[in-house]
A and B are shown apart, each in its own frame.
Chain A
Amino acid sequence: MTSADDTRSALSGTIETLAGDGSEPVVVNLGPQHPSTHGVFRLKVTLDGEIVQDAEMRIGYLHRSMEKLAEERTYTQNIPFTDRIDYLAAMSNNLAYCLAAEELLGVEVPPRGQAIRVLFAELQRVASHAMANGTFINDCGAWHTPLFYMFRDRERVLDMFEMTCGARLTTNYMRIGGVAFDLPDELLPTLRSFLDDMPDRIASYEDLLMENEILHARARGIGVISPEMAINSSLSGPILRATGVPWDLRKANPYCGYENYEFDIPVGEQGDCFDRFLVRMAEVKQSLRILNQLIDNIPDGPWLADVPLHARPPEGEAYARVESPRGELGFYLVSDGSPAPYRFHCRPPSLINLSALKEMSIGGTLADAIVTLGSIDIVVGEIDR
């Protein structure tokens, strides 16, 4: 054996192709610029033909040092950072951060503020799941059509965000102690017509997609993960629920008065990509159910508690978590008594859910790995922060 052979076998390690004729696997870089990495994320796959033998995730291309930057700004000034952590679910991120800061400050949110928070968190879930399902089917190869249908619904939600707080994507709407503005007069009629239209829309998507033979062929039994593996990997959100585990923070650890609303936790049975899709579809319905209960019962009163702009929380630490569309989103704040947090940490669901991709994609084909990645619904801004 020549030294070149030695080097080669050392490089490829113990991996051999199925052909068994000494041929070597191919390493393919998916990303950082690739149509289906949903941002700048790099997946290095080792392929034997079309079969994935190894997958390595490289992150950090979108790192913006938010956690460090946040240590130099006051608690209120940090809220816009949370918009940009998960830019597809800004409201949920606002909410989680504000809950943590409120815990630190010991602020009580007025009932109207609570209700408005739930309203926008659920609208955000509808919008985010629409995006997730659309891009997922896009990754299955459906030439953008479902994506645009889902965008149509997301657009209406974003319009409602815009009429309330002026921004569509990076809302910066929640404040420590409530929300920044009261609901505008035209919001509730718009929301009502949205709630009236959505059941038909969802039914038509289900007609097209639920029984779609090709979608079943592509997503059923693909990227399977077992419940115990999901729990051990600390997965959360639709991926965990797709394995059959009814773990939803809105039920398990209610916040913002979620215990007052009636809704169910949709769970899958297989833990595969199709179940994740189904769980998201069903969660949209549950969100609409919450919104339907909410729309006529928003209490009157103040929407923002009286919190000083440069609040100085007492020394201590706080961790608050919410069920974001992607899973358990937590913010951990440590205060040293100054107006800026001593430590600002985010527990991003995307990062932790992504860690299971290797487990889910090895042994499948390259196309399956892409579908699995799409079903995890990552937001790279949240992974790298």
Chain B
Amino acid sequence: MSGFDLAVVLGAWYDFRDLNNLSRLITEWIADWGPDWLSSIVTGLLGSLGILAVIGPTLLVLIWVERKVIARFQQRYGPNRVGPKGLLQPVADAIKLILKEQLAPRAADKLIFFLPPVLIFVPGLLIWGVLPFGPRMSVADLNVGVLFLLAVSGTGVLVLFMAGWSSNNKYALFGAMRAVAMSISYEVPMVLALLTLVVFSGTMSVNGIVEWQQQEDVIFILLFPLSAIAFFFAASAELNRTPADISEAESEIVAGYHTEYSGMRFGLFYAVELGNTLVISAFIATFFLGGWWLWGLDQWVPSWIILLAKTGAVYFLLIWTRGTLPRLRIDQLMSFCWKALVPATLIFVAVAAVERTLLVTQGWDTTIALPIMAVINIALTLGAVMLFARLARSERLRRPARTTLVRDRVGGLAAAREVASQAGGGD
């Protein structure tokens, strides 16, 4: 075969269900005349560029979506002036940010202050590499994809600390300290939650986990709901989203580690934060909701559309929690992590190990065994959540949650004196 055969193109890549067809086509075409390494480099580059080309516009739309949805939660209209339905608002914002002056505090460490907005892109983009958009659609289908994901997402905190430290601002330092403390703590339940899946499915490849779910006809949120909840909460803490946005708690430390960043430097932090939210939603969808697979629907609909829909659902959930809940305090977040999430996920790793061993050694029929295990695990999760709620509530129930109404007493100084003397003090 020589040259670019249109018939082959039409024959193979009309099939939008799997964009990998296109990649294979190019590989084969290059292999005809060029060396092997060139074909792998070209397809790798194309994949990365494809991801970059998708993320950029997606982020712009996401900013609009997030603002619009939050606005609806808050009884507002949200952006609706620039462009149709306000869709061009993010573009206008970006232009404004680019045009703004880049201020740096005089006492800042210039080099380290300059680097974080650039460096923060590295983990933010690398993480997309192992996300499977379809059966064979990922830039790098690593056999240790889960490990790669955790390692890369863990490096982001270093950049945050650089930003907070170099700004020479107390708010920024507080934000950075909180970010470091929280990220390191919440890595643990995150790892443990994913370990459950790895133990049970027997693979560390992200695509392998999806394929396992496809093969066994079950999604992991049914099998390990507690791991899903723990991962969701830990992820929202890692992403600095309410109820765990303490490292940039607006009402306390202004904007946390990026307080001193203005203009597009702030814009880059903001963009990466949104991008991370998107990719973590995609990974939650991949690990716990079956990723690109949906009980055979992936035969009819392009798999990446299914993934996108699931990602959207998770993303909406993240916006919802952000729009509804107040923020926890750092010590409360830490104690929730170490006293609740870590033990619970640890127990579920053990549960997963036992169930996996039983499944392998006893040779049970998975179509019967898996539903039973799912029921057991859901019951265990409900039990754990109710136990936690009970423990948390018992303290609360000791205190009244309603005001008392004073009807008989008219009030006045006499009543005030009476209350004060009852409380043990004189007046």
Contacts and interface: CB of A to CB of B under 8 A. Distances in A.
Q: Does B bind A?
A: yes
Interface of A: 26, 28, 34-36, 50, 137-145, 147-149, 152, 208, 210-218, 220, 226-229, 231-232, 243-248, 251-253, 264-270, 275, 278-279, 281-282, 365-368, 370, 374
A228 B404 contact: no
Most chain A CB atoms below 10 A, which of B75, B419, B426: B419
Given A26-B170, A252-B413, A266 B403 contact: yes
Given A231-B416, A267-B403, A141 B249 contact: yes
B357 interface: no
Interface of B: 70, 73-76, 170-171, 174, 242-243, 245-246, 249-254, 322-332, 392, 396, 399-407, 409-413, 415-416, 419-420, 423-427
B242 A142 contact: yes
B329 A278 contact: no
B329 A218 contact: yes
A287 to B, nearest CB: 14
A140 B242 CA distance: 11
A145 B251 contact: no
Nearest to A230: B420
Given A142-B327, A213-B392, A218-B328, 6 more contacts: A145-B74, A218-B326, A246-B411, A252-B411, A267-B403, A370-B252
B252 A36 contact: yes
Contact of B412 (A28, A215, A251, A275): A251
Given A227-B423, A246-B411, A214 B399 contact: no
27 contacts: A35-B254, A50-B174, A50-B330, A138-B251, A140-B326, A141-B327, A142-B242, A143-B242, A143-B322, A143-B323, A144-B74, A147-B74, A218-B328, A220-B396, A227-B425, A228-B425, A245-B415, A245-B416, A246-B406, A246-B409, A265-B405, A267-B403, A269-B399, A278-B403, A366-B252, A366-B253, A374-B251
Nearest to A366: B252
Nearest to B421: A228
Contacts, number: 167
B416 A246 contact: yes
A8 B264 CA distance: 39
Nearest to B415: A246
Contact of A148 (B76, B174, B322, B327): B76
The 5 closest A-B pairs by CB, nearest first: A141-B327, A228-B425, A148-B74, A264-B405, A142-B326
A365 B329 contact: yes
Given A28-B171, A50-B330, A143-B242, A148 B75 contact: yes
A244 B406 CA distance: 10
A277 to B, nearest CB: 10
B128 to A, nearest CB: 27
B420 A251 contact: no
Contacts of B427: 228, 231-232
Contacts of B76: 148
A39 to B, nearest CB: 14
B409 to A, nearest CB: 6
B326 A137 contact: yes
A231 B420 contact: yes
Contacts of B403: 266-268, 275, 278-279, 281-282
B254 A34 contact: yes
Most chain A CB atoms below 10 A, which of B74, B400, B403: B403
Most chain B CB atoms below 10 A, which of A229, A267, A269: A267
Most chain B CB atoms below 10 A, which of A244, A269, A275: A244
B243 A141 contact: yes
Contacts of A210: 401-402
A36 B419 contact: no
A246 B420 CA distance: 11
Contacts of A247: 411-413, 415-416
Contact of B325 (A144, A214, A268, A365): A214
Nearest to A238: B403
A196 B56 CA distance: 49
Nearest to A148: B74
A217 B404 contact: no
Contacts of B423: 226-228, 243-244
Contacts of A218: 326-329, 332
Contact of B410 (A215, A226, A252, A366): A252
B326 A267 contact: no
Contacts of B328: 141, 214, 217-218
Nearest to B331: A365
Contacts of B252: 36, 366-367, 370
A367 B329 contact: yes
Nearest to A286: B405
Contacts of B392: 213
Contact of B329 (A35, A216, A270, A368): A368
B411 A266 contact: no
A212 to B, nearest CB: 7
A269 B405 contact: no
B249 A367 contact: yes
A40 to B, nearest CB: 15
Contacts of B425: 226-229
Nearest to B404: A267
A216 B389 CA distance: 13
A228 B416 CA distance: 9
Nearest to A374: B251
A370 B251 contact: yes
Contact of A28 (B170, B242, B331, B332): B170
Contacts of A216: 396, 401
A228 B422 CA distance: 10
